[in-house]
Amino acid sequence: MTVDVPVDLDTIRAAHARIREHVRRTPVLTSPQLDAAIRSALFFKCENLQEIGAFKARGACNAVLSLDDEEAARGVVTHSSGNHGAALAWAAARRRIPAWIVMPDNAAKVKQSAVTDLGAIVRYCEPTVAAREAMCAAVQTETGATLVHPYNDWRVIAGQGTAALELLEDEPGLDAIVTPVGGGGLLSGTAIAAKSMKPSISVFGAEPEGADDAYQSLRSGRIVPQTDPRTIADGLRSSLGEKTFAVISSSVDAIGTTSEAAIVRAMRLCWEKLRVVVEPSSAVPLAAMLEAKLPIAGMRVGVILSGGNVDLERLPWQH
């Protein structure tokens, strides 16, 4: 299977022009103590400080603003009980168009209210892939809404690439960029943006050992679906799609995997040393570096902190 990749630096710059009034230009933080721990110079792009608390605002906003008026009027639909669902609800609210979010009927109340508070309509389904795809298709048939997939969508991938665009504008001296990889939208957009802006740069993904489908997929040269993911990093349990696999297998230098203990340690270090609230998925790149799973010694490394939506009642380092 050959996949034609229609996203390049121009596409990502166009996405940035489209969304820049809506998303935040997030700050880049540093910590001499973390640098000393890793023996590299780390530059953390704080996507957790987006209004909805995740980089997902970028891709969702680009997808929503890419629709023509007629398409837009019919609304958008997706399946996600996590950050993409909230991001699409938020983006649709900004354009004042309807959004339907399909989520399993066992989703936490807080995740349901996160999207209904933004004005979206929740549609419930059985907690299986087949059921959520069927429900999305039913909503599309019923309403004419456009499906905005969480990551296997070129408009979403282009939007996610705008974080790396800003990061390299702010820190042009970077030697490498690391992002977490779940479905691969952020990593794909980052790889296209970064390699186009600076061909010498390395782009790495990082994922939990307990959800290492991207690592397995790259090793075997085909998409290895994630079955039975076991990780605290709830944003990284998805499988790659054919679009993200095409980009990642051709452009990403390596995927580092990391233990659950390192993820918790890295998450706590971000809270303590950077003083920002990050969710476990965000801490996976730092965790992989703490475990020396990525060849970044002595480099200037950009790290995308992907999100900051956590339950403050239950922190993973507390017993």
For 317, residues 6+ apart whose C-beta sits below 8 A from its C-beta are 264, 267, 268
For 50, residues 6+ apart whose C-beta sits below 8 A from its C-beta are 23, 24, 26, 57, 58
Instruction: Pick out residues in 275-294 that bind its own copies (CB under 8 A).
Output: 275-278
Radius of gyration of the chain (CA): 18
Starting at the edge strand found earlier in the chain, the sheet holding 121-125 runs 121-125, 99-104, 76-79, 146-147
Of 8, 25, 41, 20, the residue nearest 188 (C-alpha): 8
User: For its own copies, which residue of 23, 34, 53, 154 counts as binding (CB under 8 A)?
Assistant: 53
Q: How far is the CB of 283 from its own copies (least distance, A)?
A: 14
Catalytic residues: 56, 306
User: For its own copies, which residue of 105, 126, 142, 272 counts as binding (CB under 8 A)?
Assistant: 272
Piece of the chain touching its own copies by CB under 8 A; list 4-12, 22-30, 62-70, 168-176: 22-30
Q: Is 275 left (phi over 0), alpha (psi -120 to 50) or beta?
A: left
| 109 near its own copies (CB under 8 A) | no
Nearer to its own copies, 48 or 188 (CB): 48
| 96 near its own copies (CB under 8 A) | no
Q: How far is the CB of 46 from its own copies (least distance, A)?
A: 8
What mask, x for binding its own copies by CB under 8 A, covers residues 252 to 271?
A: ----------------x--x
User: For its own copies, which residue of 49, 120, 201, 224 counts as binding (CB under 8 A)?
Assistant: 49
Contact 59, 306 (CB under 8 A): no
List residues binding its own copies (CB under 8 A).
27, 29-32, 48-49, 51, 53, 268, 271-272, 274-278, 308-309, 312-313, 315, 317-318
